[in-house]
Amino acid sequence: MTGTRWTVAALFLLPALVLLGALVVYPIGYSVIRSFYDQSGDSFAGIDNYRALFTDDGIRTALKNNIIWVVFAPTIATALGLVFAVLTERVRWGTAFKLVVFMPMAISMLAAGIIFRLVYDQDPDKGVANAVWVGVHDTFVQSSAFPKAHPGRQSPLEPARGGGFVTKEPVHTGEAVLLPLVGVAPDQMPDSAKPAVAPQADPGKITGTTWQDFTRGKGVGRLNGVDSAELGYAGMKIEAVKDGKVVATAKAASDGTFTLPASADGALLRLPASNFTAAYNGLDWLGPALVTPSIIGSYIWMWAGFAMVLIAAGLAGIPRDLLEAARVDGANEWQVFRKVTVPLLAPVLAVVVVTLMINVLKIFDLVFIIAPGSSQDDANVLALELYRKGFSEDQPGIASAIAVFLLLLVIPVMWFNIRRLRREVRR
């Protein structure tokens, strides 16, 4: 190139170089220098700020969570993208499916965080995750309809060991037993509950009624007496306990009536604790134990579509004759996928995994928005800790050290990616 061409090239590159220096080189250099100074920025602190990276509890938690993010988020997102890309090749509406899976990429991290903050809401009436989880749970395990029921005034029941309530006196055959309870709002009673019916004595059995001993209105209804406006505790379990052993059980009908055999003579009647267990309210998705996996789930929801699109592009470039040759040789579809498709897609899979690894090292938005204040420390990551140290806790030296540390973590991944791209170019 002549000198004139060098000059023209330099002039064209100068604006880009100025912007690169002002927006990239200078901030990196300044952060490196600032990381060796104390909070005020006047005194040289040496490596104290870097030592804090491995002694501060908050930073160590953030580092641990970043490792979890780097290991699981890219791997799961890439695996899902691979499965989606392969399967959509075999369905008629594959393009529409790809569009739906890729659509979350059009949503900002802020919007996705707000969406999943609602999805993970503890209240099953608001949070989709708990609505589904509670629905599945209640399909197999029936929750009690009377979690707040308890004996009222002058009740024949008293608290039992291990929970529940037991009669104060033994019961005998031919006796009609009344087991009144209060504490359940009328609109919370089961739909199957019907007006309570007073028990009729049976000489060879023990009969009784358990019901909601409460009638609306002042001075209405009789204490410990069955009134027509009161509802029976439909489905309430009653146990006859003699010498610490359950000798008979019964289940209340929709009107609260029940019958026990003669073997219950002389026993105490117990309403076991299972009648009063609180309704299952789902998982605490944003609690300390599950907050990080939950946020990773929202990230995968967003980025699985990105992985799918790149892998689908690589899949389209695979020679079909290789796949057909494997099938002709007797390989089944799983063997073709595992021993032909995946090895041929290895370069594309490497690109996706490396790209997502770099991305998750910088993750900030989702953690900041989704994790509530009570569990944000448990969901902490390095980028969020950098923000907190630099702006909330006014420790710019430590914040700069975290930034430099993040840069050092990204460099090996970038170096691996550049080497791989150079090998691809040589081929």
Statement: residue 286 has pLDDT above 90: yes
Q: Which pLDDT tens digit goes with each residue over 305-329? A: 999 999 998 888 888 888 889 888 8
Burial class (CB in 10 A: 0-12, 13-18, 19+), 424: exposed
> Residue 1 pLDDT > 60, yes or no?
no
The DSSP bridge partners found for residue 312 are none
pLDDT of 142 above 70:
no
Percent of the chain with pLDDT over 90: 45
pLDDT, greater one: 19 or 416: 19
Task: Compute the radius of gyration of the chain from its Cα atoms.
Answer: 34
When pLDDT is cut at 50, 70 and 90, the band that residue 2 belongs to is low
pLDDT tens digit sequence for 346-364: 889 988 998 999 899 889 9
| Contact between 390 and 396 (Cβ < 8 Å) | yes
Residue 364 near residue 81 (C-beta atoms within 8 A): no
Separation CA 289–CA 379 (nearest Å): 9
| Strand 206-212 relative to strand 176-181, pairing | parallel
Q: What is the pLDDT of residue 392?
A: 81
Contact 311, 82 (CB under 8 A): yes
pLDDT 10s digits, 76-92 = 999 999 999 988 887 77
- β-pairing, 165-167 vs 157-159, is antiparallel
Write the CB contacts of 245 (distance below 8 Å, at least 6 apart in sequence): none
Cα gap 72→293, rounded to integer Å: 9
289 has a pLDDT exceeding 80: yes
- This prediction's pTM: 0.76
Q: At which residue do the structure tokens 């009328």 appear?
A: 186
Q: Report how far residue 314's alpha carbon sits from residue 348's, in angstroms, rounded to the nearest whole number.
A: 6
- pLDDT attached to residue 54: 86
Q: pLDDT tens digits, residue range 161-213?
A: 888 999 999 999 999 999 999 988 777 788 888 999 999 999 889 999 999 98
pLDDT tens digits, residue range 207-263? 999 999 876 555 556 788 888 888 999 989 999 999 889 999 999 999 999 999 999
Give CA separation, 21 vs 8, 15, 407, 422, in Å.
20, 10, 17, 25
Lowest mean per-residue pLDDT among 127-131, 236-240, 328-332, 416-420: 416-420
Q: Which amino acid is at 348?
A: V
Q: What is the pLDDT of residue 254?
A: 92
Output phi, psi for 364, to 5 deg: -145, -50
* Residue 136 β-bridge partners: none
Predicted local distance difference test score (pLDDT) of residue 216: 59
- Beta pairing partners, 248: 240
Q: Is pLDDT at 296 greater than 60 in this prediction?
A: yes
Q: Which tens digit of pLDDT belongs to each residue from 377-414?
A: 999 999 999 999 888 888 888 999 999 999 888 888 88
Q: What is the pLDDT of residue 135?
A: 86
- Alpha-carbon distance of 59 to 47, in angstroms, equals 16
Confidence of residue 65 (pLDDT cuts 50, 70, 90): very high
Tokens of 53: 């990276």
Mean pLDDT, range 26-31, rounded to an integer: 90
pLDDT per residue as tens digits for the range 88-122: 887 778 788 888 888 998 888 999 999 999 999 98
Mean pLDDT for all residues in the chain: 88
Show the 3-state SS of the chain: CCHHHHHHHHHHHHHHHHHHHHHHHHHHHHHHHHCCECCCCCCECCCHHHHHCCCCHHHHHHHHHHHHHHHHHHHHHHHHHHHHHHHHCCCCCHHHHHHHHHHHHHCCHHHHHHHHHHHCCCCCCCCHHHHHHHHHHHHHCCCCCCCCCECCCCCCEEECCCCCEEECCCCCCCCEEEEEEECCCHHHCCCCCCECCCCCCCCCCEEEEEEECCCCCCCCCCCCCCCCCCEECCCCEEEEEECCEEEEEEECCCCCEEEECHHHCCCEEEECHHHHCCCCCCCCCCCCCCHHHHHHHHHHHHHHHHHHHHHHHHHHCCCHHHHHHHHHCCCCHHHHHHHHHHHHCHHHHHHHHHHHHHHHHCCCHHHHHHCCCCCCCCCCCHHHHHHHHHHHCCCHHHHHHHHHHHHHHHHHHHHHHHHHHHHHHHC
